[in-house]
Amino acid sequence: MASVCNSTTTLKTPFTSSTSSLASTPKPGQLFLHGKRNQTFKVSCKVSNNDQNQNVETNSVDRRNVLLGLGGLYGVANAIPLASATPIPSPDLKSCGRAIISEGPPVPYSCCPPKPDDLDKVPYYRIPSTSKLRVRQPAHAVDEEYIAKYNLAISKMRELDKTDPSNPLGFKQQANIHCAYCNGAYIIGGKELQVHNSWLFFPFHRWYLYFYERILGTLIDDPTFALPYWNWDHPKGMRLPPMFSRKGTALYDERRNQTAIANGAVMDLGSYGDEVQTTELQKMTNNLTLMYRQMVTNAPCPLLFFGAPYVLGNNVEAPGTIENIPHIPVHIWVGTVRGSTLPGGGTSYGEDMGNFYSAGLDPVFYCHHGNVDRMWNEWKAIGGKRRDLSEKDWLNSEFFFYDEHKNPYRVKVRDCLDTKTMGYDFAPMPTPWRNFKPKRKTTSGKVNTAALPPASQVFPLAKMDKNISFSIDRPATSRTQQDKNEQEEMLTFTGIKYDNRQYIRFDVYLNVDKNVNPDELDKAEFAGSYTSLPHVHRANETEHTANVTFQLAITELLEDMSLEDEKTIAVTLVPRKGGEGISVEGVKIDLAAC
């Protein structure tokens, strides 16, 4: 697997094999946080979804097979080298068709935007100059005056749905932007356009909120109006902001999981539908641990944070760390439970927040993504190699939006890299997760590996229906610092198969036995998680089996647990969701260039 931590800026592809090493380059973790090297997670995904009814270009990769893990970036087989790629253009509105509800029927209405008079003459947007920055505040700390102004703005936007339904500034028309871009309405290069699970995720949503915010300000004649951000990375913000719970206001949405969010409940940033049975304090601790892993440990390199390249003809599905967790879990936590009865009748597909087609119908969506957008800035502020991508195929990717005056524009990624240049900033809040590296240990000493079955007796594993512990040999012991700088020690699970229409999650621990408490993530032994979300499928598809390879870098964990000199270590798999449907072909530990 090629390096995604390479210090050079010319990166042909992170998905093709490479013999290069970083012998002369410090590992990213050595460049920040007091010089302490930090663990990086890497995951690779080999896609085996075969849809005989879909026209897939030669050497391209179908985006339906998703691999989500605490690692961030993924190596995918058969990807086209970026040297031959083309950036994603603005979608052709003439090709916009019916969107599909994830794991459901077609969306019962059109998500396509109003078409400009001349599609071929839509200009590129130029960011206007501003004398005063719009400052986004943490949602839990705003005052009543702001809440009243915010309610008024959303009310005026909702009113346009009644008086002028085709107005691109209307509430539903704005929500449809997300539906069209995320649920298969647009076709580019013969494939459905999807702005999730790739490096398009952050810039698309930044531009989306930029215009949404300016529209709200125009509706209330306040050019300084700024959206709030849901500060879920801080304990004070780990609940649904109270202003969204006021029934009868424009900010309220009845299609939420009222049980999960009731009475100011603390959220679970790793939620995949099941409630964690633990204290509020432990939930907050877990959340801060996840934030540290996603922002610091697992994202020392740009592609790990932003996600895999997405270019014309090469639709590889591989999200960055924050898109994976906590972005998706927050959506699931707020939305209704799939299969439940919606208010007013009908079966839930996770509406509103829990399904991409409907997420924009809940005002809290934009507050949630306000903090996602803020994480982009916070990540770059950590330092080291944390900087924007320099790939031209990313910088020149395009989107289509209407501005606050109903004028259509095309925008480029390269123009949204600096929020102050775009005319807004974030009110500062502490980031306690930056110093929340897990140190507490479950096991005081070393697990007796002789008492555990070797990996050769456990794998192939037919199903992961319970906690499973095994011993496994390492390829080398007592490695020098130079050895570690050149090669990462990788724990690799091969041939992981499951029904990709289901929620999937399992956790991986080192040096613990099968009695580990999975509800406490703030442990040094916690290596990472494999997770997968249900995919959008067309009605004629019959193959739903994912086949993936999952890798975790374990060098730092071995250091933290004083296991560097051990020839054999203990590994424990803990199923969290859908384990009875997960099989694993094999496991190994080897050394690989970062």
Cβ proximity of 501 and 534 under 8 Å: yes
pLDDT at 259: 87
Q: What's the confidence (pLDDT) of residue 228?
A: 98
Q: Which residue type is seen at 454?
A: P
Can you list the residues of the chain whose pLDDT is less than 50?
A: 1-84, 538, 594
Is 493:587 a contact under the CB 8 Å cutoff? yes
- In 3D space, the residue among 304, 300, 308, 388 whose CA is nearest the CA of residue 71 turns out to be 304
Q: What is the per-residue pLDDT for 542?
A: 61
- The pLDDT value given to residue 67: 36
d(C-alpha 156, C-alpha 402), whole Å? 17
Please, is 69 exposed, middle or buried when counting C-beta atoms within 10 Å of its C-beta (0-12, 13-18, 19+)? buried
Q: What does the angle CA 183 – CA 185 – CA 189 come to, to the nearest 5 degrees? A: 110
Determine the pLDDT at residue 30.
27
Complete DSSP assignment for 330-377: HHHHHSPPTTSBPTTSSB-SSTTTTSTTTGGGSTHHHHHHHHHHHHHH
The pLDDT assigned to 9 comes to 32
Residue-level pLDDT at 535: 59
Which pLDDT value is given to residue 593?
A: 63
Q: Which of these, 356, 297, 288, 358, lies nearest to 326 by C-alpha position?
A: 288
Q: Specify the pLDDT at position 272.
A: 75
Instruction: Give the per-residue pLDDT at 53.
Output: 34
CA distances from residue 467 to 273, 550, 571, 580 in whole angstroms, order as listed = 20, 18, 11, 11
Active site residues: 178, 196, 205, 327, 331, 356, 369
Question: What pLDDT shows up at residue 411?
Answer: 98
CA separation for the pair 401, 119 (Å, rounded) = 12
Any idea what the Cα angle at residue 158 is, between residues 157 and 162, rounded to 5°? 115
Hey, what amino acid is at 574? V
Beta bridge partners of 550: 493
Continuous H helices in 220-327: 258-261, 280-292, 302-306, 321-322
